[in-house]
Structure 1
Amino acid sequence: AKTLAEFLFGDENALIALDMSEYMEKHTVSRLVGSPPGYVGYEEGGQLTEAVRRKPFSVVLFDEIEKAHPDVFNTLLQILEEGRLTDAQGRSTDFRNTVLIMTSNLGTQDLRKANVGFGKNDEALSYARMQEKVNEALKVQFKPEFLNRIDEVIVFHELAMAEVVQMVDLMSKRLTGQLEGLGLGFELTEAAKGLLAKRGYDPQLGARPLRRALQRFIEDPLSEKLLLKEFHAGEIIVVGVEDDPDQKDEQRFTFKAVEGFVPPSAIVLAGAGDATPSTTE
């Protein structure tokens, strides 16, 4: 969702994320549009309506939508049909410039039991079966008038290791930017990416543990080395892999410094200096 927000609106922070497990009870539904007059929090507005009012161009994520109270879907019907929502104070919030995403785990247990996924020879057939089972689960959980207002249902297959490695690249960009601010370069070898992907991916949990693995195996030890001043400005920190002498058949990450880091800003300035203005006589 962050990537979509950055692609559509040029800012990954143009994302409004709502955990629908917080709206399981009937009395919590009013928090979306604000408390009724006379109740505590009336002047604060709704958590959904106020957020969209502040960020009218945004991606709105309803995470684990199946956990929400049924009354939530009555609220969403107004958004999906008319592109607006009226809060408790009578103000109309415009949703026509937002993209709504709802995530759900409905049907995933049935997929695992049936061992449905992507095979090498029946990829199209397998995906069709996945969609069929998920759509059946959606019809059991949600009313037809709600499902009919959803533009598209996308079923995601289990991530392949190559895709997890790509996620390592995306997640390490923030760390790269932080180190560049200290005058340091950062590079993960292919072996390091593979080991990090292996330790940070779980077929049951997906790629959620990957963020924790990056922090545990890369960011935390790197922070200690920076505090001990093992790296200096102008160096590139190269993270590699070697056999762990303390554990048989195990590997560990290595951190080595290589000279030659040039800040991106210096490259831009150098490129600008190459252009010499032409003169006419």
Structure 2
Amino acid sequence: LDDGRLTDGRGRTADFSNTVVIMTSNIGSKRILDTDAKIFETEEGREALRDVVTQELNNFFRPEFLNRIDDIVIFKGLTKDDLMGISGLELRKVQRMLEEREIILDVSTEAKRRLVDLGYEPALGARPLKRAILREIQNPLAESILEGGDLSAGTIKVNLDGERFTFKRA
């Protein structure tokens, strides 16, 4: 990495001189999740947490590797409020897929909260939320479209009936 070259397992080299390499890891995430989120609010708290995560990295990686990394960014875990925002972004992606069929998706706040509850797993980030949207919204809509159901063109309101998602033409 120092010379701006990357060599693969077959001995081929690639020019990496103008490349930014971003790596992610869950090393230290258990310690972060076990820590009160308020620690991120003070500089002292962030520094103490950084020291703990740096120690975890030192226990896992060789110093020769860590010495080649310019910076380490530590993220705090996602809250349910964060996931509410992410749910809006993910549901807009579903909406874009439905536009060619002239379907408008209107998901109630209550339904979004339920998706967040189903997809909230602090140690796993936003992926469980994406899976909940796929399982509870996207797949049922796709099945209805394929079956020629009454969820064709128009506005579809997604609500909750108890803990069950409902899809109704607006």
Normalising by structure 2, we get a TM-score of 0.83
Kept after mapping to 1: 8 A contact 2:27/2:53: yes
How many residue pairs match? The answer is 168
Q: CA deviation at 1:218?
A: 0.8
Q: Which residue of 2 aligns with 1:230?
A: 150
Local SS of the residue matching 1:102: coil
Distance 1:128 1:252 in 2: 44
Larger relative contact order (CA 8 Å, sep ≥ 6) = 2
1:256 is matched by which residue type in structure 2? K
Whether 1:253 aligns to 2:143 is no
Local SS of the residue matching 1:101: coil
Whether 1:133 aligns to 2:52 is yes
Q: Could you list the per-position Cα deviations for residues 54-92 of structure 1 after superposition, in whole angstroms to 9, with x for gaps in the alignment?
A: xxxxxxxxxxxxxxxxxxxxxxxxx2x122224567653
- Aligned positions of 1:138-217 closer than 5 A: 138-217=57-136
Distance 1:161 1:108 in 2: 18
Whether 1:123 aligns to 2:41 is yes
Kept after mapping to 1: 8 A contact 2:111/2:160: yes
Distance 1:213 1:117 in 2: 27
* Structure 2 gaps, min length 5: none
Q: Which residue of 1 aligns with 2:27?
A: 106
Q: Could you list the per-position Cα deviations for residues 229-271 of structure 1 after superposition, in whole angstroms to 9, with x for gaps in the alignment?
A: 21232x12221223x2xxxxxx32221223xxxxxxxxxxxxx
Kept after mapping to 1: 8 A contact 2:103/2:156: yes
Kept after mapping to 1: 8 A contact 2:95/2:105: yes
Distance 2:112 2:50 in 1: 32
Local SS of the residue matching 1:168: helix
- Whose Rg is larger? 1
Kept after mapping to 1: 8 A contact 2:30/2:123: no
Q: CA deviation at 1:203?
A: 2.3
Distance 1:122 1:87 in 2: 39
Local SS of the residue matching 1:186: strand
Local SS of the residue matching 2:21: strand
Q: Which residue of 2 aligns with 1:8?
A: none
2:85 is matched by which residue type in structure 1? Q
Distance 2:80 2:141 in 1: 25
Residues 126 and 238 of structure 1: CA distance in aligned 2, closer, same or farther (over 3 Å): farther
- Aligned positions of 1:84-103 closer than 5 A: 84-87=5-8, 91-103=12-24
Residues 187 and 95 of structure 1: CA distance in aligned 2, closer, same or farther (over 3 Å): farther
Q: CA deviation at 1:165?
A: 1.3
Kept after mapping to 2: 8 A contact 1:84/1:93: yes
Local SS of the residue matching 1:218: helix
Q: CA deviation at 1:146?
A: 2.1
Local SS of the residue matching 1:185: strand
Residues 222 and 148 of structure 1: CA distance in aligned 2, closer, same or farther (over 3 Å): same
1:232 is matched by which residue type in structure 2? S
Kept after mapping to 2: 8 A contact 1:118/1:127: no
Q: CA deviation at 1:170?
A: 2.3
